[in-house]
Amino acid sequence: MVEGGDFREDLMYRINTFEIRLPSLRERPDDVQPLAEHLFRRFRPGLKPNEQLFTPEAIEVLEKHTWPGNVRELANVIEHATILCDHPPISADHLPQRFASRRGPLPKVRITGPITLRDLEMQAIYDALDRHGGNKPEAAEELGIARSAAAGRCRPWGHCPGPPAAAVRAPGCTGWSAAHRAGRGGP
């Protein structure tokens, strides 16, 4: 700031008596769990002292995240999970949707009938997402299509849409949208 002329040098020497360097949260993955537990207790007072607050899967997902928003982002994520979780422990399912790609591979679609172009597109998109750990822009780039085009074809971005009619539904899929089931089309 001083070098850029945004801050007076003499004032900097007055207030900069002692510097403390605090590494970002991405540099301190071991601090994620204690901070998450502290934040959860702050958002949900009255928890028992030795109560398990997070499942091991949730902690693993949180520790793998790079935390570009640092501790403020962690606080936001824990507040989100606190709202969704009626009682501890918080599981990975309580975390925001953007953490879904870190929960494990996407389900494979197993084709059991005639294969359509839509079936092949869906499988290609799921496979690309799996190869890129759920990173949608990278998956779309590999496929040579815009992210919005892939979303329009398959809609795997925010939820598991279920396989087409010629396929067997993978475990955990919610199925097609209500509009599609009603015959009004739509992805």
For residue range 155-173, list pLDDT tens digits in order: 544 433 333 343 343 444 4
Burial class (CB in 10 A: 0-12, 13-18, 19+), 117: exposed
The CATH code of the domain at 110-181 is: 1.10.10.60
Give the model confidence (pLDDT) of 90-144 as tens digits.
999 899 888 765 555 555 556 566 777 777 777 778 777 777 777 788 888 777 7
**Looking at the domain 24-102, which fold is it?**
Helicase, Ruva Protein; domain 3 (1.10.8)
Q: Is the dihedral of CA 114, 118, 120, 125 positive or negative?
A: negative
Domain boundaries, the chain: 24-102, 110-181
Which residue matches tokens 């790079």?
Answer: 66
> Which two structure tokens, joined as six digits, stand for 51?
């109560």
Separation CA 4–CA 101 (nearest Å): 41
